[in-house]
Amino acid sequence: MRARKIREGIYWVGAIDWARRVFDELVPLPEGTSYNAYLVQGDQKTALIDTVDPDYTDTLMGRLDGAGVTRLDYLVANHAEQDHSGSIPAVLERFGEARLLCTKKGKDMLMRHLGVSEARIDVMEDGATVDLGGRTLEFLHAPWVHWPETMLTYLREDRILFPCDLFGSHRATSELFVQDEHEVLVAAKRYYAEIMMPFRTVISKHLKRLADYDLGLICPSHGPCFPRPELIVDAYRDWVDGPTVNRVVLPYVSMHGSTYRMAQHLLEALVSRDIPVDPFNLTVTDEGQLAMALVDASTIVLATSTVLAGAHPKAVYAAYLANVLRPKVRHIGLIGSYGWGGKTVDQLKGLMPALKAEWLEPILVKGYPGAEDLARLDALADQIRERHADLP
């Protein structure tokens, strides 16, 4: 197991998970992922920043052996989630002199989740520093990115930010540094959409704080490092605070063709009005792709069949997903069909209270849509065009 050199005295000692295809039994991982850990050696002391998923503890230990590490003074836990903290007990057992550095909330979590002894932990206040001898680690509290105990570590002299999950991408790759910027940004946007977007208002504040730091390299805990930090920082600023764009997200589910006919007609009506549309068949869609589409879109129109007087379960999940992700969407539409009645509109509206968006007039059709119903969809497309008139 070889440690990979980032700079003199700074090494990547993480693990690449080529085969993993789902995270937290929830998030799709079409490209696998990595668990990045970083070794920083000063003139006097050595620190390990984050560890790896517990399944890869032996890999981490092998890389530390490869780097010739016989003593570890500090183990930094930026985040208590197990894909980064899971190997902490093993590292502490092997290096009995090591002090575990984390936030106060991180201390509580690591003690509860991993059984770490309180005697091994030193709480780092916001802005606290540790001198390694010629190298200084500064700790920046970043609560709710994306857990309440998260902190970032900044290596002052080398201008390197170790932000744990912030700026990450679920991508198994042998590339230590970003090579194809477009390819990595797509993966990073997916990661942001699935994991970070619910916390965008908090992240906005942390981005403003980071503007005061001279960043020469960003080394996240998932995916490759960014030798051009402005690439990912500027992307985050746009995703978090940038304007929405002239685009409609159209998730749909249809049992007998009626709702599908409506969704297809609306799609064509929108495209003919120069409004790009991202349709998603909810029975087969990749939730990550849907989340990505929601990052920038101005409008979401949810199309659903009626099941037992309510929305189709797939539509219910889509509404729930949109609500927890809290995208910047400005307008919400609802279309669909029913056999005899129901409370679909009230149900779905009740599932999306976190979205501070305008609700457009719903269009629900009894049975298969006729000419008048399709005309209503044309009117909805006109309404959306008016709402999008000022958008890029």
Residues 305 and 176 both lie in one domain = no
What pLDDT band is residue 24 in, cutting at 50, 70 and 90? confident
| pLDDT per position as a tens digit, 152-198 | 999 999 999 999 999 999 999 999 999 999 999 999 999 999 999 99
Residues 180 and 50 both lie in one domain = yes
Residues 256 and 309 both lie in one domain = yes
Residues 179 and 199 both lie in one domain = yes
Domains: count for the chain? 2
d(CA 257, CA 189): 33
Residues 317 and 377 both lie in one domain = yes
Last residue within a domain, chosen from 210, 225, 241: 241
CB 307 within 8 A of CB 279: no
Closest CA to 28 of 277, 284, 309: 284
Q: What is the pLDDT of residue 358?
A: 98
Residues 225 and 290 both lie in one domain = no
Q: Is position 392 within any domain? A: no
Report the b/e string of 233-242 with b at 16+ CB within 10 A: bebbbebbee
Last residue within a domain, chosen from 184, 210, 241: 241
The token pair at 365 is 């059709």
Residues 148 and 12 both lie in one domain = yes
Q: What is the pLDDT of residue 180?
A: 97
| pLDDT per position as a tens digit, 85-105 | 999 999 999 999 999 999 999
Rg over CA atoms, the chain? 24
Residues 135 and 254 both lie in one domain = no
| pLDDT per position as a tens digit, 334-348 | 999 999 989 999 999
Query: pTM for the full model?
Result: 0.95
Closest CA to 26 of 220, 224, 286, 300: 286
Closest CA to 45 of 106, 135, 127, 112: 135
Domain that holds residue 186: 4-241
Residues 176 and 272 both lie in one domain = no
| pLDDT per position as a tens digit, 207-235 | 999 999 999 999 999 999 999 999 999 99
Closest CA to 215 of 239, 197, 231: 231
Q: What is the pLDDT of residue 208?
A: 98
Largest CA distance in the chain: 79
Q: What is the mean pLDDT of residues 53-60?
A: 98
d(CA 215, CA 92): 30
Examine the pLDDT at 301 and tell me if it is beyond 90.
yes
Q: Tokens 């780097």 label which residue? A: 67
Residues 173 and 155 both lie in one domain = yes
Last residue within a domain, chosen from 217, 241, 265: 241
